Chains A and B, each alone.
Chain A
Amino acid sequence: MRTSSIRFWQTTTVAFAGAVAAFSIAPASAAEEVNLYSVRQPALIQPLLDAFSRESGVKVNVVFAESGMLERLKAEGANSPADAVLSTDVGTLHDMAEAGLLQGVKSDVLERNIPAAYRHPDGVWFGLTTRARVAYVSKDRVKPGELVNYADLADPKYKGKLCIRSGKHVYNVSLIASMIAHDGEAATKKWLEGVKANLAAKPQGSDRSQAQAIMQGACDISLANAYYLGLMSVDAVQKPWGEAVKPVFLNSQGRGTHVNVSGGAVTKSAKNRANAVKLLEFLSKDEAQKRYAEDNFEYPVKAGVAVHPFIAGLGQFKSDPISLAEVAKHRARATRLVDEVGFDQGGGA
């Protein structure tokens, strides 16, 4: 009788000890590898990473998460296994740099391939692609040349014609931050209030779903990243959404259209520093830059690399030359402005 209870506890203990031991074994490390913390969805970059491994013989290990990677790096400290990070926007890279988690890299290849505006002055992070935040306007209901600048979006004549995703989405926050950098806070706030007053519905959905809303007649104008037009054009369901709208590169005649970059950096803790630099260099070279353009319709940062024909068909534009490191400093302020004007509560009846 008693042995049965002893066996119960023995089994339990052994099972737990075994499980803990099995679970704590870190994967064996390959000879040549680079460990990547990615804040960027892996689906789009995986083919690039595979190409890098084929070319260099360096294995790429990835952890992807949209938030928390900064905190993970920070907590792990000098022992962190991460060698490099990739991100969809400058904000995260900027924050990591501010927290002292990245290291400066001096690389002729990176400096040659990436224009100065798209990298940190000390090589702490590097932009790899740019994405333009443009207006999507209805092909039928908005006349060509009618909408020219971001400022026009606040024009009362567009009352009830605008739809947009949450003002707190990183793409919108970045745009608002760039306006603060250029025009100051007061003017930006006034603009935000004007845009809010024009909303047809509560800010919601994604960049793609704004095109869908325009197709359905819910609104005429929205803000979205240009590459989504390309992505929608190759999707059977979303194709008509994209076809209902055309892009307007706002501020093209002025200071230029707002662009953000996706980019990468080498961590301070990097054990495989040389491989991390090699990876970033690979991503800045012609082959990888071409794939970014072809697979995801983004603008390559390297001069001379062709954009996707579909994107080329949307027309040339001038991008805002302001330093993205400067823009990133205003993100917290931009978020507060969105709260202050109650942007996400706009568009109500």
Chain B
Amino acid sequence: MSDAPSVTRRRAPAVLGRFDGWAAGALVVSGLVAAPLIAVIVLALTPSDDIWSHLLSTVLPLYASNTVFLMTGVGAGTLIIGTATAWLVTMCRFPGRRVFEWLLLLPMAIPAYVIAFLYTDLLEYAGPVQSALRHAAGWTTRRDYWFPDIRSLGGAIAMMTLVLYPYVYLLARAAFHEQSVCVLEVGRTLGRGPWRSFFTIALPLARPAIVVGVALAMMETLSDYGTVTFFEVPTFSAGIYDVWRNMSSVAGAAQLAVVLLVFALILVAAERWARRDRRFHHTTTKYRALPSYRLGGGRAGLAFLICALPVLLGFVLPVGVLIEHSLRAGADSFGWEYLGFAANSLLLSSVSAACAVAVGLLLAYGIRLGRSPLLKYAARIASLGYAVPGAVLAVGVLVPLAAFDNMVDGWMRQLVGVSTGLLLSGTLAAVTFGYVVRFLALAYGAIDASLAKVTPSMDGAARTLGQTPGGALARVHVPIIRGSVLVAAMLVFVDGMKELPMTLIMRPFNFETLATWVYVLGVTERLQDYSPGALVIVAAGVLPIIVMIRTTSRSRPGQGPGQGMTS
């Protein structure tokens, strides 16, 4: 691993000299994607009626501590669950392993605001759990016993961990999959047992991927608004809405959003620090089937339990509740209109996923080719959108887009006397752009972490054989990292299916997605009105997850398609 960087350095200048177009293109694209964030920062520069002295002396400390606790809680929870389950299903053999491999991903199809709603219904005073307890123990009122309040910081951490750990699981699993057997065998030769192999070899090697996963989960936590307000746990993002809507101060809201950006920058810095300037590509291309530890008896049972619990709590139980309420609502609650909404959701999410992956590839590969420090920073800023609450980011997208539209309109009026009106604002192209801005971190993170595994000598070889950088990307890099490219696309897709605040604000007239429709149905506060739509969102998210997982289990380097894992 140690001599790899010098290889990069010898090759890079030639690449840079001949193909600067890549760097320039990547720079322009990252500038476009970063524009909404810059718009938020510009908004923050306008005066805000001394909101800060008010906030500092009242609720700001609470926002800060809630945000920090929530982030650390979710970070630790997703790290432990995601990494442990990924290691178990990749490296160990126990009953159910193959099924868990994809079951463990399913909770990510459930929006956090839906799972929070469902668990509150289950665990609140009137819910089935407490009712059963009261019945069993003979209690009659609230004052007779103590029961943990789901609407609390702890509740919010639990809900978000349950639906966000798959990010870590997915990336960690991919990393464990792509690891070279040789290092593990060296470890074994040197007498490392399974535990020590994990902690001293596999975990450090998978660190970039795991850190990216945890950082993504924490960024999504930062931007969450639905869950924290439902649970009345005021965080920065809840505070942003408050300042925005009740104090009518967009500037103040934007200033709080900038604080969130600082949090996100710290996360990104921590992620980079964790990777420092080491190179994580494997030095050998010997990819045989991974060795696996056969677990027996109690250990197998424990592994089964560790994998079953997140699936049970994060998917089976909530979906069961959704199904039960949907059945109670009856068949006529599944109207044909759902087909239209589902088509809208699928279209928006898949086009956004394709665009985000393209942009992510362009940026990650542009950085790899160009070594332009400017591009590095631009890409990092461009992927911060994930940490900003969707509604604030939507405003950030609206402002430059409408400014562009109005500018073009002004020119056209002057030049040819024709008004073009708003070309992009209020169109699906604008919403798609918004999704890319919001979810680029997912695509870029997954691709960037994985590109690190393509050795620089492969770039060199491809170029020596006459490939252009584009040719090398299409014929060398993408095939090698295609598993991670799919993962990136799926992450954006699934998040797109759940996206609510941006879609609400930016959408065209008379346009509904599944998420906006379910939100509208939620106004009655009745689970039976809400469940059928929520179920469709989950189902629509589950399908691509299964497709993706089937593809990535075959995407281990050195294994052609159709060649199953021999273990």
Contact = CB atoms under 8 A, between A and B. Distances in A.
Contacts of B501: 67-68
A339 B355 CA distance: 42
B523 A41 contact: yes
Contacts of B402: 75-77, 79
Contacts of B406: 76-79
B232 A9 contact: no
Interface stretch (A20-28, A256-264, A300-308): A20-28
Given A202-B232, A204-B151, A336 B474 contact: no
Interface stretch (A150-158, A179-187, A212-220): A212-220
A9 B126 contact: no
Contacts of A61: 509-510
Contacts of A206: 525
Interface in A1-58: 1-2, 4-5, 8-9, 12, 15-16, 19-20, 23-27, 35, 41-44
A16 B510 contact: no
A67 B244 contact: yes
B375 to A, nearest CB: 21
B247 A336 contact: yes
A323 interface: no
Nearest to A75: B402
Interface in B422-442: 422-429, 432
A57 B460 CA distance: 68
A255 interface: no
B55 A339 contact: yes
A206 B467 CA distance: 62
Contact of B474 (A8, A42, A81): A8
A4 B246 contact: no
Interface string B392-430: 001100110111011001000000000101111111110
Interface in B464-491: 467, 470-471, 474-475
B250 interface: yes
A124 B431 CA distance: 31
A259 B358 CA distance: 53
A51 B69 CA distance: 51
Interface residues of B, number: 74
A170 B246 contact: yes
B466 to A, nearest CB: 8
Given A43-B520, A217-B142, A71 B241 contact: no
Contacts of B213: none
B311 to A, nearest CB: 30
A238 B419 CA distance: 53
A298 B422 CA distance: 37
Contact of A335 (B246, B520, B526): B246
Contact of B398 (A15, A44, A75, A216): A75
Contact of A173 (B241, B246, B432, B504): B246
A66 B141 CA distance: 37
Interface stretch (A100-108, A115-123, A340-348): A340-348
A69 interface: yes
A75 B246 contact: no
Interface in B244-269: 244-250
Contacts of A109: none
Interface of A: 1-2, 4-5, 8-9, 12, 15-16, 19-20, 23-27, 35, 41-44, 61-69, 71-72, 75-81, 91, 95, 98, 166, 168, 170, 173, 202-204, 206, 208-209, 212-213, 216-218, 231, 235, 237-238, 331-332, 334-336, 339-340, 342, 344-345
